[in-house]
Structures are given as structure tokens and as C-alpha cells.
């Protein structure tokens, strides 16, 4: 079962994903894509870590997400990825300009073969104004394309606003 959880900043999407992971009854592997490049991001990462049960396995993988999913997804396990937009940012800022295309392709190719439960958290960034800068516009465009492709591969797609989940595809149960 693959679930894509979308929402804005501070919408409650990560908390929902964590509740779903706990409710799964499976062993949980948490794949974190964030990188502590400054004190503010380090504090955010520390906050997320503090919410996770000690029994969850944590994997920090800012770039090779498909490989991490392939390595950890299996029956009887829940893999929670938080978050795809940080992963996208990491790739768009990578020195190897072609890496994004390779990693995106690898992610979309591995998704149908994943077993167990997979929860993908991502920021929905296409609801606001059109960004002014070229890189920011590319980020919004690529996030939207990625979300559409993944939504087509996931059995469930949820949108979270104000801590309230709305099932766009499948059901919340």
C-alpha cells in the first residue's frame, strides 16, 4: 500500500504520516531527506527526531531515495519518507545537474515494485503565487509533476490542511 500525503507548511502532514505509521502495526523505517545546513534546519530535524518512537529505524538519505526505498521496503514493514520536497530541493541544488532526472526516474520506476506500506510526505507548493525566480519556478513545476506521477502510482492520496486530512484518492482508513 502506497500513500502520498500532501499539504502546506505546518499543515499537519508529517504528524498524520507518523500516526499512520504507528497505527500500521508494522516495524517502521523513517527515511529523512532533510539536511542540517543551518541552525534553523538543525532545530527542525531535532524536533522531528524527538517525535519519533525509539523503536523506529531512522535512515538519512538526502539524494538516493529510490535506492533507500528498495533497501528498506518489505512485507510487514512501514517506510515513511519525509519529505519529497526537501529531496527535490537537494537534487535541484546538486552539482551534477543531471542527477535530478536520474533519481526521479529511479523513484518512479521502483514505486510499483515496493512491498509493505509506504508513506510519502510532500509539500504542496502549487497553490500560491507564481515564484519570481527561475530556480523557484522550476522547483514548483517539478514538485507538481512529481506529485502527479506519484499520485498515479499510489493507492491513496491525502491532502492535509489545518491538521485535517482529506482523501483525494482511496480512503483515510
Measured in degrees and rounded to the nearest 5, phi and psi for residue 59 equal -130, 125
Average pLDDT over residues 52-60: 93
Residue pLDDT, tens place only, 141-158: 999 999 999 999 999 999
> SS3 breakdown of the chain: % helix, strand, coil, rounded to 5?
45, 25, 30
Known catalytic residues are 48
CA distance 147 to 157: 10
Average pLDDT over residues 6-12: 93
Query: How many CB atoms neighbour CB 131 within 10 A?
Result: 14
Contact (Cβ atoms closer than 8 angstroms) between residue 148 and residue 142: no
CA distance 99 to 94: 7
Query: How many CB atoms neighbour CB 149 within 10 A?
Result: 14
> If you search the block for the grid coordinates 537534487, which residue do you land on?
91
At 71, list the grid cell.
533497501
Can you give the CATH number for the domain in which 119 is found?
A: 3.40.50.300
Q: Whole-prediction pTM value?
A: 0.94
Residue pLDDT, tens place only, 63-118: 999 999 999 999 999 999 999 999 999 999 999 989 999 999 999 999 999 999 99
Query: How many CB atoms neighbour CB 121 within 10 A?
Result: 25
Instruction: Indicate the number of domains in the chain.
Output: 1
Contact (Cβ atoms closer than 8 angstroms) between residue 170 and residue 156: yes
> If you search the block for the grid coordinates 541552525, which residue do you land on?
39
Q: Which domain holds residue 150?
A: 2-169
Amino acid at each position: 500500500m502506497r500513500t502520498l500525503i500532501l499539504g502546506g507548511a505546518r499543515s499537519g502532514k508529517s504528524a498524520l504520516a507518523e500516526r499512520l505509521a504507528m497505527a500500521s502495526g508494522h516495524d517502521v523505517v523513517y527515511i529523512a531527506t532533510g539536511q542540517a545546513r543551518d541552525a534553523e534546519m538543525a532545530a527542525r530535524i531535532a524536533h522531528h527526531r524527538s517525535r519519533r518512537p525509539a523503536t523506529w529505524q531512522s535512515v538519512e538519505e538526502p539524494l538516493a531515495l529510490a535506492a533507500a526505498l528498495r533497501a528498506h521496503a518489505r512485507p510487514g514493514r512501514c517506510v515513511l519518507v519525509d519529505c519529497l520536497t526537501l529531496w527535490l530541493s537537494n537534487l535541484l541544488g546538486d552539482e551534477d545537474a543531471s542527477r535530478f532526472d536520474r533519481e526521479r526516474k529511479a523513484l518512479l520506476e521502483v514505486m510499483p515494485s515496493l512491498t509493505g506500506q509506504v508513506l510519502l510526505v510532500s509539500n504542496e507548493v502549487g497553490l500560491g503565487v507564481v515564484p519570481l525566480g527561475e530556480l523557484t519556478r522550476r522547483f514548483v513545476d517539478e514538485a507538481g509533476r512529481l506529485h502527479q506521477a506519484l499520485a498515479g502510482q499510489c493507492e491513496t492520496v491525502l491532502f492535509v490542511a489545518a491538521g485535517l486530512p482529506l482523501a483525494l484518492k482511496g480512503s483515510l482508513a
